[in-house]
Structure 1
């Protein structure tokens, strides 16, 4: 019985030894590997000269510091510079806001963990005054440009309402001499107004030609009337002088001949005043000699 117990104890010890020999080396190697990995990935060293910088009067600022040699530096995610062989770096930037803000500096290098630091960017009083003056100049420019544009629109509106080429020339001259406006900005509007002016001038020319033609016709009608009256008087004079023996008879005939009323420019003879105008007495033969015809109102059936 004692021998059996001794054998069992020996077997237990042997198996325990084998188990410990099979597991402990692997655990030991894994622990060493993790330790080596942690030692390789180390963070980048990064420091700045000051965590608060102030701009100059024009909004420029400088951030300098030290990091790993040849490390790449970023400012707010944008690549900015590379450290020299001693790890020194410097950012020369211009502010991108109209108020104080923070800039994040990031240093990166292969096989190392990146590092970030935050720097406060403070706008100087000189820069704030400079921006205020710049804003005032911009506002003044905006007002001047708006005034010039309003005046150009007023001149163009006057040219469009009056349809005078002189008004349009005045508007174009103003725009050409303007500090902020260009004639090309008003190209289509100017052309549209000029087309209207041209159409008006053509219409006025047609009306003037029509008026001249009417005057010409009226003058010709007057000349015909004068000529007819002269011919009638000449015929009467010839008839009287050619028949001196029958003067009393002719005078009696003229006296008893039908009397009518005529106007200087009319084409009809009347037996009464018919409508507006100045009427003159004449004999029927005189009226017919002038080529006049009876008025349908006075002699109508």
Structure 2
């Protein structure tokens, strides 16, 4: 289509030159022939498929945009890279945007009366666009890095939070150590986490101290239970009093030991009083041989002894009293 005006102009010029010839009849014949030929050529050209591009190589602006311009038959269908593009009386323009800093080839195609024409336009990235792409890549990389760092911090914080909660609900040294390690490894220091861990640490230390005091009290109480004497009772009482937060169960057991000791003292006093009464009633003489042998007994024992035999609380008693209580002689002493 782009050659039609030139051809049409050429034929007109020829027609005008012939008009100046002297032979008018011949001139009219030639003129008629040229005008008819010109019309035929023009009409034929207008009814064919055409495609003209202003430029077949374009350079983008700083953001990667380039504008393809051209002309085609006003009845033709125009597509660019497969996309139908509208045109106005054959004139068209189409904006292309590069996404990479490398050249891109664009195919421009027209269809008219089963005729197809295609041309290629090369879109070259400008220096400004190449710089823009590089800057954009740096920006996106920085954003990705920042996002990854935030996600890492959030993940670390969540793990530390879970570990601290576990150490608070179950304050063992193992749970505390795990939480401490996670908090220590945090990218950003967390004062709240450190304060909570310090409380857990104090709780564990108090529990450890109580356990140690409880162990000491248990040993002292066990001794008092097997050997219910005043000194053992006082030792156990002091040990229990030193247990942080108290030890109610141990205190109850200690009360039982005290009851045993009091009962033994009362029994010993009763026996002494009974002996005094007996001697007073007999005047110290029963008119015959009187057994005055003395032995040693314990409040809960089943044997009488010649002396203190082993651990326990021993009191003196007459052989008669020992026999009256149903006691039998100790195999070690007799």
Sort the Cα spacing of 1:282 and 1:99 in 2 relative to 1 into closer, same or farther, 3 A.
Answer: farther
Structure 1 Cα separation of the partners of residues 270 and 131 of structure 2: 111
Structure 2 Cα separation of the partners of residues 118 and 127 of structure 1: 22
CA contact (8 A) 1:70 1:82 kept: no
Q: Give the count of matched residue pairs.
A: 193
Q: Secondary structure at the match of 2:249?
A: helix
- The residue number in structure 2 matching 1:138 is 140
Aligned-pair CA distance for 1:280: 4.9
Which segments of structure 1 move beyond 6 Å, counting only runs of 4 or more?
none
- The residue number in structure 2 matching 1:103 is 106
Structure 1 Cα separation of the partners of residues 61 and 114 of structure 2: 35
- The residue number in structure 2 matching 1:227 is 259
Structure 1 residue ranges without an equivalent (≥5):
1-38, 175-203, 263-269, 273-278, 286-297
Aligned-pair CA distance for 1:240: 2.9
The question of 1:57 aligning with 2:72 is answered no
CA contact (8 A) 1:101 1:122 kept: yes
Aligned-pair CA distance for 1:69: 0.6
Q: Secondary structure at the match of 1:58?
A: coil
Trace 1:171-190 onto structure 2 (pairs within 5 A): none
Q: Secondary structure at the match of 1:229?
A: helix
Aligned-pair CA distance for 1:89: 0.4
- The residue number in structure 2 matching 1:150 is 152
The question of 1:256 aligning with 2:295 is answered yes
The superposition leaves residues 104-156 of structure 1 with CA deviations (integer Å, 9 ceiling, x where unpaired) of 111123x1411111111011122111111111111112222222233333334
Aligned-pair CA distance for 1:74: 1.5
- The residue number in structure 2 matching 1:92 is 95
Sort the Cα spacing of 1:258 and 1:280 in 2 relative to 1 into closer, same or farther, 3 A.
Answer: closer
Give the CA RMSD over aligned residues. 4.5
Q: Secondary structure at the match of 1:116?
A: strand
CA contact (8 A) 2:60 2:66 kept: yes
Sort the Cα spacing of 1:159 and 1:254 in 2 relative to 1 into closer, same or farther, 3 A.
Answer: farther
CA contact (8 A) 1:258 1:284 kept: yes
Structure 2 residue ranges without an equivalent (≥5):
1-43, 170-178, 187-206, 215-245, 285-290, 302-307, 318-330
Sort the Cα spacing of 1:260 and 1:246 in 2 relative to 1 into closer, same or farther, 3 A.
Answer: closer
TM-score, scaled to structure 2: 0.46
CA contact (8 A) 2:298 2:312 kept: no
Structure 2 Cα separation of the partners of residues 137 and 94 of structure 1: 20
- Structure with greater contact order relative to length (CA < 8 Å, sep ≥ 6): 1
